[in-house]
Homo-oligomer: A and B are copies of this chain.
Amino acid sequence: MVFNIHILGSNSAVPTLKRHPTAQLVNHNERFYLIDCAEGTQLQLRKYKYKLQRIGNIFISHLHGDHFFGLIGLISTMHLLGRKKELHIYGPAELEKVILLQLEVSQTELIYPFHFHPIDPQKSEMIYENEKLTITTIPLNHRIPTCGFLFREKQGKRRLIKNVINNLDIPVDQFSKIKSGADFIDANGKTYKNSDLTMDPYPIRSYAYCSDTKYHEPIIDIVKKVSLLYHEATFMHDKADVAADKFHSTSSEAATIAKRSEVGKLIIGHFSTRYEDPQDLLQEARQIFNNTDLALDGSTFAVAPEPK
């Protein structure tokens, strides 16, 4: 089951020709989730050949322009291209006003069902759930109310060992019970122990998105041992004062959160425009947390099982 993170933008504050501001596309089990939507995100989706109509849910972390100015354009393009599928947007309550006002002044009545779900960035709560995944908010510490998002797979059932099951001629209606841990008793009364019939469930995978925030230790408990952590790293640590003043993090701080959270892997982004080549940011992070990569525009990260 696919669980990939596609980076659509990695710059902070303003778009540049090399790096777009923040947006990420999450593909979990062929369901597509968009996190943040800076100006130009719809073009980034085109550039990297992702189908924008497949996005079903959009999550906006906070209302700084470099995280949502592309949203109205995306909503509008979905409309103009004839979308029928419903769209769900999760974000701070004022975002709904911004969307509705822009639809109103352009006299646009969306032709697809549009649902807005206000979120409270101050507390961690589950805001989305399907049969395989939950999404929970991560309160962050930024200049305005901001939260990250934790995508975590649900614990699956035990997996049938196919050739054993097939040899025993087990009725299909027993499968669900066996997957839940039951033994099997055949027509002659012979018992087959569950451990002989099944394997452990697939290991859980998780992805935590944390942008924008200053160094904020309460994050640690929430993202503890996630498979993959995205944490903003706007500045090098020699600009720690600037970072704190602007409610952003340094690369070292991002790596410290990753290390203390014992995550599987860290990716960093939201780089200040001053860093034309963010390699130094990467090297700085790796001094503290070695399994770090740059979340550059166009890169894709497969989410691995959570670390033990």
Contacts and interface: CB of A to CB of B under 8 A. Distances in A.
Interface stretch (A76-84, A126-134, A182-190, A248-256): A76-84
A97 B104 CA distance: 11
Contacts of A305: none
A163 interface: no
Contacts of A17: 43, 46-47
Interface in A22-79: 39-40, 42-43, 46-47, 63-65, 69-70, 72-73, 76-77
Interface string A84-127: 00000000101101100110111110000000000000000000
A213 B270 CA distance: 41
A166 to B, nearest CB: 50
Given A39-B40, A42-B39, A98-B101, A65 B15 contact: no
A63 B97 CA distance: 17
A167 interface: no
Residue from A73, A81, A98 having most chain B Cβ neighbours under 10 A? A73
Contacts of A97: 101, 105
A77 B107 contact: no
Contact of A73 (B69, B95, B104, B106): B69
A interface, size bucket: 35 or more
Given A40-B43, A43-B15, A43-B40, A105 B69 contact: no
Contacts of A242: none
Nearest to A43: B15
A81 B46 CA distance: 28
A14 B77 contact: yes
A13 interface: yes
A15 B74 CA distance: 10
Contacts of A76: 65, 69
A73 B70 CA distance: 9
Given A98-B102, A105-B94, A105-B95, A42 B65 contact: no
Interface string A171-195: 0000000000000000000000000
A102 B39 contact: no
The 4 closest A-B pairs by CB, nearest first: A94-B105, A39-B73, A63-B105, A65-B76
A144 B47 contact: no
A15 B39 contact: no
Interface string A1-31: 0000000000001111100000000000000
Contacts of A107: 143-144
